């Protein structure tokens, strides 16, 4: 049953009271990430003047594009910045996940008939204004067109308020169909829907266009500090290469052209040691061999391709092997927070889900490897999103933040590199709050 909107604000206040060690901003951020946000027509009109959502890899929306009645996906911003207002928010950056039915509504207060800047975007919940909202400015490189006619936003978009250049060089995954795709992932379906919508969406980006886009960024920007190379898994061959060679060639070209300009990060499968070493040799500093979910039974159900081609035990062994190549602090595997509570196979009790996921954090953090997480967005074009459209309960996400923060502190781990500054009011990581709640060793 959908919760009546008027109850949502009270639920948030009660949840914040139950978790006094978490900043209230993080409570709202987690709830907005799992629920999505709506935009009033006035907010959409205002947002269209700012940096647009690039659909950098997945849809990260709660409804398909074809159901966006106001065509929100063409004018919504990449992220929002909450600050001030009646709740006195410290700066909080949140990735925009569209949901026209969300009780979280971005609206506009004040007139802006002549575009002179009087209008103020605000965040409302149950009709009550919580904070003011800023949209990201359009960086100069987004105004440029490349020699092949493509825009930089398509080839090298930036997220995390401009900190991270996100290079999805292969927009499709070779784990294909229900029996192979990770059940929470819409990479292939999102590719199809973007093409149907007419968005320029390059399946395989060339090294030349990546370098040209980075040339433009490097010559016009000082806010970006890291890049991520990523894309779908390569289980067979792509352009005659296996996964390591295919992705490493981009890193090699970038590092040769722009040595040391950015921190190089690679999201790829957990590869055998000698394959992973190719990333290091190409100049990559941080490796993200994402394990997605800890629980053994659920891993085989939710990640059937990874389970069959690699296997959970081998995946974990390869993560630890990679720590010998990159150093433990520079191996940062991601998991998708909340999918362990998906229907019909997941845990039904928050306590059990946290116990399982906490076990995974203990396993890695006690060995110096610090996983990070993205808050699950139950995308409707995925198996899990269809089965559990509301995602995991807020209580789960808040307990996870506490567990992650406390385990990180227990093992005195450093702040994960490649994410910018930690702490409430300073963190830029926008798809979960782990950087907002971090307590770094003194």
β partners of residue 38: 105
Q: Residue 133 belongs to what H/E stretch?
A: strand 128-134
CB contact set of 258 (below 8 Å; sequence gap of 6+): 214, 218
* Of 233, 375, 407, 430, the one binding ligand SF4 by CB under 6 A: 233
Give the C-alpha separation, 395 to 31, whole Å. Answer: 10
Asked if 384 is part of the footprint of ligand SF4 (rule: CB under 6 A), the reply reads no
What CA–CA distance (Å, rounded) separates 243 from 152?
Answer: 25
* Those residues with Cβ within 8 angstroms of residue 167's Cβ, 6 or more apart along the chain or in another chain: 156, 205, 210, 227, 228, 229, 230, 250
Nearer to ligand SF4, 308 or 355 (CB): 308
CB 59 within 8 A of CB 53: no
Q: Near ligand SF4 by CB under 6 A, which window of 92-100, 106-114, 177-185, 429-437? A: 177-185
The residue within the footprint of ligand SF4, chosen from 32, 173, 325, 394 (CB under 6 A), is: 173
Give the SS3 label for residue 65.
helix
Which residue among 23, 232, 283, 289 contacts ligand SF4 (CB under 6 A)?
Answer: 232
Q: Which is nearer to ligand SF4, 94 or 182 (CB)?
A: 182
| Separation of alpha carbons 153 and 53, rounded Å | 9
Provide the minimum distance between the beta carbon of 291 and ligand SF4 in the complex, in angstroms, as a whole number.
11
Stretch that binds ligand SF4, among 84-92, 121-129, 180-188, 379-387 (CB under 6 A): 180-188
**Taking contact as CB under 6 A, which single stretch among the options 91-99, 156-164, 182-190, 412-420 is the one that binds ligand SF4?**
182-190
CA pair distance 100, 297, nearest whole angstrom: 35
Reported in sequence order, the residue ranges of 162-294 that DSSP labels E, i.e. its strands, are 164-170, 226-231, 263-267, 286-288
Binding part of the chain for ligand SF4, among 121-129, 148-156, 179-187, 235-243 by CB under 6 A, reads 179-187
37 binds ligand SF4 (CB under 6 A): no
Q: How far is the CB of 378 from ligand SF4 (least distance, A)?
A: 15
For residue 143, give the DSSP letter.
G
Size of residue set near ligand SF4 by CB under 6 A: 8
Of 187, 394, 437, 438, which lies in the binding site for ligand SF4, with binding defined by CB under 6 A? 187
Sole binder of ligand SF4 in the list 61, 72, 107, 181 (CB under 6 A): 181
Supply the DSSP symbol for 177. Answer: S
In Å, what is the CA distance from 307 to each residue of 106, 127, 304, 374? 40, 45, 5, 21
- Please identify, using beta-carbon distances, which residue of 339 and 438 lies nearer to ligand SF4: 339
Question: E-strand spans in 110-163?
Answer: 120-125, 128-134, 158-159
Task: Phi first, then psi: give them for residue 267, nearest 5 degrees.
Answer: -105, 115
Segment interacting with ligand SF4, rule: CB under 6 A, options 30-38, 82-90, 102-110, 178-186:
178-186
72 versus 340: smaller Cβ distance to ligand SF4: 340
Residues at the site binding ligand SF4, with contacts judged by CB under 6 A: 173, 175, 181-182, 185, 187, 232-233
């Amino acid at each position: 049953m959908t919760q009546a909107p008027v109850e949502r604000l009270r639920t948030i206040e009660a949840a914040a009271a139950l978790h006094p060690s978490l900043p209230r901003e993080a409570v709202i951020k987690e709830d907005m990430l799992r629920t999505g946000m709506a935009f009033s027509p006035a907010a959409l009109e205002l947002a269209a003047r700012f940096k647009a959502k690039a659909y950098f890899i997945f849809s990260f929306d709660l409804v398909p594009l074809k159901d966006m009645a106001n065509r929100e996906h063409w004018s919504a911003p990449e992220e929002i910045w909450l600050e001030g207002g009646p709740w006195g928010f410290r700066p909080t950056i949140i990735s925009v996940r569209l949901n026209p039915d969300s009780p979280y509504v971005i609206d506009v207060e004040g007139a802006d008939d002549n575009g002179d800047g009087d209008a103020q975007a605000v965040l409302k919940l149950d009709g009550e204004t919580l904070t003011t909202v800023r949209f990201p400015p359009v960086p100069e490189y987004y105004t440029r067109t490349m020699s092949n006619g493509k825009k930089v936003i398509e080839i090298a978009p930036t997220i995390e308020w401009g900190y991270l250049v996100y290079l999805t060089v292969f927009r499709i995954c070779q784990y294909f169909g229900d029996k192979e795709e990770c059940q929470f992932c819409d990479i292939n379906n999102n590719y199809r829907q973007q093409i149907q919508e007419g968005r320029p969406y390059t399946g395989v980006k060339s090294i030349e266009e990546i370098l040209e886009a980075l040339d433009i960024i490097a010559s016009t920007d000082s806010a970006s500090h890291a890049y991520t190379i990523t894309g779908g898994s390569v289980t067979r061959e792509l352009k005659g290469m296996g996964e390591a060679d295919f992705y490493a060639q981009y890193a090699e070209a970038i590092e040769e052209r722009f040595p040391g300009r950015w921190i190089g990060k690679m999201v790829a499968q957990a590869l055998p040691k000698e394959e992973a070493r190719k990333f290091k040799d190409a100049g990559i500093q941080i490796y993200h061999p994402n394990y997605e979910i800890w629980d053994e039974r659920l891993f085989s159900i939710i990640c059937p391709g990874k389970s069959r081609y690699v296997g959970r035990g081998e995946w974990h062994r390869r993560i630890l092997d990679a720590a010998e190549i990159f150093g433990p602090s520079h191996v940062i595997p991601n998991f998708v927070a909340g999918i362990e509570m998906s229907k019909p196979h997941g845990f039904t009790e928050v306590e059990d889900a946290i116990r399982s996921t906490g076990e995974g954090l203990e396993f890695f953090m006690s060995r110096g490897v610090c996983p990070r997480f993205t808050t699950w967005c139950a995308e409707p074009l995925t198996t899990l999103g269809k089965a559990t459209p509301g995602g995991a309960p807020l209580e789960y996400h808040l307990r996870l933040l506490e567990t992650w923060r406390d385990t990180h502190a227990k093992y005195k781990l450093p702040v994960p590199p490649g994410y910018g500054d930690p702490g409430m009011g300073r963190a830029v990581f926008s798809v979960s709050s782990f950087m907002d709640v971090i307590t770094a060793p003194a």
